[in-house]
Amino acid sequence: MTNASPSRLWLPYAVIAGVLLAIKLWVFVAMPPIGDEAYYWIWGQHPALSYFDHPPLHAWLLGLISQILGWNLYALRSLTWVTLGITAWIYWYWSRRLAPENPALYFWRSAVLYLASLLFLSMGSISFHDHLLIALCLASGHFMVLFAERYLRDGTGFSLLYLAALLLGLATLTKYNAVFLGVAFLGFLLFEPGMRRSLLTPHPWLAALLSVAIQTPVFWWNLVEGFASYRFHLAERWTDPQQAGPGQLGVYLVVTLINLSPIVAYATARLTVYRARAGFESLAKHLAMWLLGISSAAMVILAFFVPVFFYWSIVGFVLVIPLLGLILTRPWLVYLHAAYGIVLGLFLLVNQTLVPVPTLLGGFHWVTSSMYGWDEVAEKVKALEAEHPDAFLATTVYTTAAQLSFALKDSSVVAISPRHDQYDFWFDPAAHAGRDAILVADPFYTPGETGGQFESITLLTQIDIVRFGKVVYQPQIYLARNFTPDAR
């Protein structure tokens, strides 16, 4: 029996990556929009300098895509393939630098490590801001490593530094937590041997100014809107009634471990003590450790005060994953990680494209269940609009407003609820005073969310959304009469 040819060792990993890409493809074509996906798409239909929840770059791109590809599910998630391509290109470059003796093997092994981590498979497949954040942070870190390598060699390479800064600025224009990468850059330049002297030149400071200048639309929007986004992230969410409890940190760590995968967590722990070879490998590892440490420390601190979502940690692992091929050289560990990722990926596929698994088990998960049936709701709403042509369309929470908008291809649907969201900046209550509304609610977000701003609310119909013989969601449509805005 002979060993496999070294030139073919990559083939099993490529096959596994193909399976994981098939899962991503199925999500792309079959998963109805998650509420926040539709919400961000509607942002793109309302161009603005920035938005309440996040900076504007992703919404700008979605608005552009809608003009090119139209208003449909494929357009919604098309950018995820572009950002995956950027990520793959950088992974290939790193593979050639980290394993020049067999870059194909290293690349496909790294692709499996990336795609089989549910954190990256899921957030890289849906049209949240994170898929763009991943690509931009990875690209920014990539050029910072190249700058450091060039600078340590001959004192040049500042064009690479400015490119890293440009990409950092765009990443922060996508999502605020990209700022962790900026802090990691500062730590890296201060403490990486030989790099501190670069701070004696004007270039790092001008590069930092470039990153900050790119945030001008966000600064201006907040100035005009009373610093609404900054107040939300720095003050309002800290006083949210769903404050983090004593067990929040443990929950965050466990959920993050599940989504990242135990094998990746094990390899990351080993990477922290791994002695990297001098040059590109060492520089990449040191920058990755700075970013992981700063992001992780921030998440741990935040967990004591606010509920922390597992995907907030994604920036911390952006530069770690492409280095884990240095650690996970035993195929069985990569196969175990792949099996874990495929199982979770198939769960994602079933849960969010066929039928919610909690429903099959006799439970209910509102976020998942409320993804289903919006085309059916839209058809009924269209019929009711014909009967009540002067009524405006509203729902009781921002996500369902966006999902109904997406199904109707109509960005005029509004959310009337006590939650502060982007709809507060689009909806003019005074202009709707005295009008009736076709109001879509459900048993979780009831008509009570409207805060008594209608004279009367009458149930017109309830729609049972059924999948595989199970009722998964029950939206209700009401006629709400005589809208009277409150004084909020």
For residue 5, is pLDDT > 80? no
Asked which of 310-319, 329-338, 478-487 is least confident by mean pLDDT, the reply is 478-487
Summarised one tens digit per residue, pLDDT across range 216-265 is 999 999 999 999 999 988 887 766 545 566 678 888 999 999 999 999 99
Rg (CA), the chain: 24
Provide mean pLDDT across the span 306-325: 94
Q: Is 200 exposed, middle or buried (0-12, 13-18, 19+ CB in 10 A)?
A: exposed
Rounded mean pLDDT of 289-317?
A: 92
Count of beta carbons in the 10 Å neighbourhood of residue 353: 16
φ, ψ at 204 (rounded to 5°):
-60, -35
Instruction: Report the chain's terminal Cα–Cα distance, integer Å.
Output: 77
> For residue 96, is pLDDT > 60?
yes
Task: Give helix 73-98 / helix 103-115 axis angle, nearest 10°.
Answer: 140
What is the C-alpha separation between 269 and 276, in angstroms, rounded? 14
pLDDT at 107 over 90: yes
**1 pLDDT more than 50:** no
pTM score, whole prediction: 0.95
Instruction: Give residue 345's identity as a one-letter amino acid code.
Output: G
- Cβ-based neighbour number of residue 166 at 10 Å: 18
Identify which of 423, 53, 49 has the alpha carbon closest to the alpha carbon of residue 223: 49
Tens-place pLDDT, residues 333-353: 999 999 999 999 999 999 999
pLDDT of 191 reads 97
- Residue 469 — φ and ψ, nearest 5°? 80, 5
For the stretch 374-417, pLDDT in tens is 999 999 999 999 999 999 999 999 999 999 999 999 999 999 99
Q: Report pLDDT for 6.
A: 64
| 451: phi then psi, degrees, rounded to nearest 5 | 70, 35
Residue 317: is its pLDDT beyond 50?
yes
Q: Mean pLDDT, to the nearest integer, of 53-74?
A: 97
Distance in angstroms (rounded) separating the CA atoms of residues 224 and 231 = 13
Q: Distance of CA 370 to CAs 34, 98, 145, 476, 483, Å?
A: 8, 45, 43, 12, 26
* DSSP-derived secondary structure letter, 332: H
Contacts made by residues 91-94, CB under 8 angstroms, sequence distance 24+: 91/322, 93/142, 94/142, 94/284, 94/322, 94/323
pLDDT tens digits, residue range 159-181? Answer: 999 999 999 999 999 999 999 99
Q: Are 29 and 74 in contact (CB under 8 A)?
A: yes
Mean pLDDT of the chain: 95
Over 90: is that where the pLDDT of 308 sits? no
